[in-house]
Amino acid sequence: MPAAPLLDPKNDFVFKRLFAHRPELLADLINAVRSDQPPVEVIEVLNPRIDPAELTGKFIVLDVLARDATGSLYGIEMQVRRQSVWDVRSAFYLARTFASQLRAGQDYEDLRPAIAIHLMDFELFDDSQQALWRFELRDRDQPAVMLTPALQWNLIELPKLDRQRTDTGALAAWVAYFEHWREDAVMSTITHTPIKQALQQLEELSGDEEAQRLAFVRERALRDELSIRRAERREGREEGLEEGREEGRLHGKHEARLEFARKLFGQPGMDDAAIARLTDLTEAEVRQLRCP
């Protein structure tokens, strides 16, 4: 029997299934993204379960929330579509993750950093060649001065980083995995052991009929969400055009009334009240016309 086609590891359901129960693979991915920091060991994935309702929920991202040996929290997300408010949403959820650590009676010193890692299958900053971004709370004029490491964002533009191929380390191997998982010619050249393990994990998951079905359900929900967003934008543009046309019509009518009022100035019996009645203007508008 031929092997089942490989599922897309960028499908966020598949992504979470791959990493939620393989903390060693998740740690390797985190360390690849944050190679300039001391390596971490993931000791717990805090949200390994996938609620079936989440698969069809609109505007839901299936993230992986993990804790390392020092207590720091990591929120790892795969994003395949560009959202207009992703930055605000990311800031909100990262701040909520950070604040959720504190329990009654605990001190602020007990808080550990909350770190977001967003793997993006699109180019976020089109006018820049940079593909790996790290945002922290630093002074604008003296960026060497950090206020606190409490909140950190790591953004990876996968297509851009794959196209540049300036890195040959673990991060390049993970980028190749996410971008070329079906290409044997590419995957056979990767010697990084965690990638080989992740590919084996993907093959096993792809052979699971229920996982195939749920991945399809999730993919369909994401397509439906995209269609909803496009329809809303289209309706918004059409409403805007209609509002503009109506505003133009009202403006034209108002200008005609003003011009008619000017023609009535000086005619017998045409005081401000009479002109206002005939033109449907207010008396204040009529007086303003008399004294521009």
3-state secondary structure 136-163: EEECCCCCCCEEEEEEEEEEEEHHHHHH
Q: Nearest Cα to 55, choosing from 256, 282, 217, 258?
A: 217
Q: For position 292, what pLDDT does the model report?
A: 60
59: phi > 0 → left, psi -120 to 50 → alpha, else beta; which? left
9 SS3 class: coil
Helix or strand holding residue 21 (H, E): none
pLDDT-flagged residues of the chain (< 70): 1-3, 57-59, 225-270, 278-279, 292
pTM over 0.85: no
Residues in the chain: 292
Q: Nearest Cα to 63, choosing from 93, 33, 36?
A: 93
Q: For position 236, what pLDDT does the model report?
A: 60
Specify whether the CB–CB gap between 12 and 78 falls below 8 A: yes
User: What are the tens digits of pLDDT across the range 162-188?
Assistant: 998 877 799 999 999 999 999 999 999
32 CB burial (10 A radius; 0-12, 13-18, 19+) = buried
Q: For position 127, what pLDDT does the model report?
A: 86
What's the rounded Cα separation, in Å, for the pair 134 and 35? 12
Place of tokens 């998740």: 26
